[in-house]
Amino acid sequence: MADTTEFTPEQMMDSLYWWGVPTLFGCEHHQRLDEIDIALLGVPHAAGNGTTERDQHLGPRAVRNVSRQLRRVHLEFDFDPWKNTRIADVGDVPFPEANDNEACIERITGFINRLDTAGVNPVSIGGDHSITGGIVQALGGGKLAGGQAVSLLHIDAHTDVFEQLDHFLGAKKSAAHWGSYLVHQGDVDAESSVQLGMRGNPRTLDWLKPSYDLGYQVVPMQQYREMGTDNACTLIRNTIGDRPVYVTFDLDSLDPTVAPAVSNLEPAEEGLKMNEARKLIQCLRGLNVIGGDVVCMMPTKDSPNNITAYVATAIMFEIMCLIADNKQ
């Protein structure tokens, strides 16, 4: 039988990314936290990774510009996340001290603390990977985590636990340090956390040792290829269990042919493809996912068709749907 649903002119335009005021997925923009279940936010921060061009702060705007087009239903989960969950774009974390990384990390923590206190789950687009430190030090031991330390599903080409460095070109809570200091602060439980996708030719042969010493379950890319996605998903679920889990996804975990506009390309070894990345995130379905982020979008390096911005949007959608599915 043909679908006879009639659409208003506005509804007809809603799927067009270039129409209307750009918000994440075309959501209403407001900060009335008592009326929100999931907060979508931008974290336009670029002072935590000094090795690359300082334009990762443009990531949230790039995703807002295209994300309306990916406001979709979820076929694998067989539900419409927009119908039964209150989702809003709460804007960007403000950074008046934008070049002061340590001040910016505390700005992020303060912003997320407000969401956590209100019981609102954050899903963010960055920004360099130092933003995860600011977010998770607000969530660890907080309301959403039930007073517990957070478990991580950390999908990345790099470990971000460079304990041998006191700072990263001046930044202390940097993109290279967050995976370490969150454990030392008691915000992350490394033994129930998984780091997956690390690859390339590292600078030292013991490059994974700091992660192992902290207690992380590490699945570098070569091991992932050997074990396959299904076995990796089983390992992830068994490691995390029923603990509160936060998903942090670095776009450089994807192959450069999939996501060319990232801050630290690793071309020496094939990265994840989109179907693999989606399945690794979807395997958390039914677990206690309390939030997530997508980081290291480099829009000034993107293809003319904005493919990396679209990919970032798709990953963000998957994380958001895990939380929305739990709230049904």
List CB contacts of 91: < 8 A, sequence separation 6 or more. 29, 31, 41, 42
pLDDT digits (tens, 9 = 90+) for 57-114: 999 999 999 999 999 999 999 999 999 899 999 999 999 999 999 999 999 999 999 9
Q: What is the mean pLDDT of residues 255-281?
A: 95
The ranges assigned to domains in the chain are 9-327
103-109: Cβ within 8 A, 24+ apart: 104/45, 104/47, 104/48, 104/134, 105/48, 105/130, 105/131, 105/133, 105/134, 105/137, 105/173, 106/134, 107/134, 108/43, 108/45, 108/134, 108/135, 108/138, 109/134, 109/135, 109/137, 109/138
Q: What is the mean pLDDT of residues 122-128?
A: 96
What DSSP line would sit under 153-183, residue for residue?
Answer: EEE-SS----TT-S-BTTBSS-TTTHHHHHH
Element (H, E) at 43: strand 38-43
Q: How confident is residue 162, by pLDDT bands cut at 50, 70 and 90?
A: confident
Distance of CA 273 to CAs 83, 165, 303, 315, Å? 29, 32, 17, 12
Q: What is the mean pLDDT of residues 41-46?
A: 96
Asked whether the predicted pLDDT for residue 165 surpasses 80, the reply is no
CA atoms within 13 A on the CB side of 81: 25
3-state DSSP assignment of residue 206: coil
Element (H, E) at 125: strand 121-126
Asked whether the predicted pLDDT for residue 288 surpasses 60, the reply is yes
pLDDT digits (tens, 9 = 90+) for 207-251: 999 999 999 999 999 999 999 999 999 999 999 999 999 999 999
Picking from 227, 217, 140, 239, the residue whose alpha carbon sits closest to that of residue 183 is 140
Residue found by looking up tokens 């379905």 in the block: 285
Q: What is the per-residue pLDDT for 161?
A: 94
Q: Just give the CATH number of 9-327.
A: 3.40.800.10
CA distance 190 to 112: 21
Of 8-22, 114-128, 289-303, the poorest mean pLDDT is in 8-22
CB of 283 within 8 A of CB of 265? no
Residue found by looking up tokens 């505390």 in the block: 106
Q: What is the mean pLDDT of residues 312-323?
A: 98
In this structure, the number of other CB atoms found within 10 A of the CB of residue 189 comes to 19
* Cα-based torsion angle of the residue sequence 222, 228, 230, 234 in order, rounded to the nearest 10 degrees: -40
CA distance 243 to 263: 31
Q: Tell me the residue length of the chain.
A: 328
pTM: 0.95
